[in-house]
Amino acid sequence: MNTRVESALNDQVQKEASSSQFYLAMASWAENNGLNGTAKFMYTHSDEERFHMLKLVKFINERGGKAIIPAIALPPKEFNGLENVFELLLQHEIMVTESINNLVDICLQEKDYTTHNFVQWYVSEQLEEEALARSVLDKLRLIGGDKGGMYMFDRDLENAAIMSDASNSATQK
């Protein structure tokens, strides 16, 4: 495997692993703050990021490279409310998208069209994840400090997590 592509893929393994840990910290914070729907949504999201990482690890090894299992930085223990959580999530996803775009660029420079093809799945995934984070943030801004609205929001997120679980178990088989 091309060493530059291998190194960029391993950087991505690290980013997906830290995304999983970051969203796990958000899930735990939400659970401790009575936001059970948000917690379920974040636990599911954390699992998805672990799946993104595993998919990369397997691809690197199958193509004759060596996947490196990374150390992960300590995620935050506290968050400053739900809007803060989803702002951080969106910023994080924007950073991941930039990293995926950089990976696409390296594949083209190195003429590694197989990896380029593989990475397209991540390009589409990032589009969806950023759009989801933006739409959730829009809802939160509409609700403002309204407690009834917040209760409904948390319940809606629980339903979104259940639907995402169902579609993931269908596509990850």
Instruction: Considering only residues 65 through 84, tell me which ones interact with ligand FEO, judged by CB under 6 A.
Output: none
The encoded tokens of residue 161 equal: 């997590």
Residue 103, classified by CB atoms within 10 Å of its CB into exposed (0-12), middle (13-18) or buried (19+), is buried
C-beta closer to ligand FEO: residue 93 or 112: 93
Give min distance, CB of 16 to ligand FEO, in A: 5
By beta-carbon proximity to ligand FEO, the closer residue of 121 and 151 is: 121
Cβ contacts of residue 69 below 8 Å, gap of 6+?
Answer: 13, 17, 57
Q: At its nearest, how many Å lie between ligand FEO and the CB of residue 112? A: 20
The residue number with the shortest CB distance to ligand FEO is 52
In the window 115-144, what residues touch ligand FEO (CB under 6 A)? 129
6 lies in the site for ligand FEO, by CB under 6 A: no
What is the pattern of x (binds ligand FEO, CB under 6 A) and - over residues 13-32? ---x--x-------------
Q: Nearer to ligand FEO by C-beta: 30 or 132?
A: 132
Check residue 93 for interaction with ligand FEO (CB under 6 A). yes
CB of 151 to ligand FEO, least distance (A): 27
With b for 16 or more beta-carbon neighbours within 10 A and e for fewer, the 114-152 pattern comes to: ebbebbeebeebbeebbebbeebbeebeebeeeeeebee
Residue from 52, 86, 116, 153 touching ligand FEO (CB under 6 A): that is 52
Residue nearer to ligand FEO on the CB measure, 112 or 129 = 129
Sorted by sequence, the CB contacts under 8 Å of residue 38 that are 6+ apart come out as: 26, 27, 30, 82, 85, 154, 157
Q: How far apart are CA 1 and CA 62, in angstroms?
A: 10
Contact 102, 50 (CB under 8 A): no
The residues of the shown chain that bind ligand FEO, judged by CB under 6 A, are 16, 19, 49, 52, 93, 96, 129
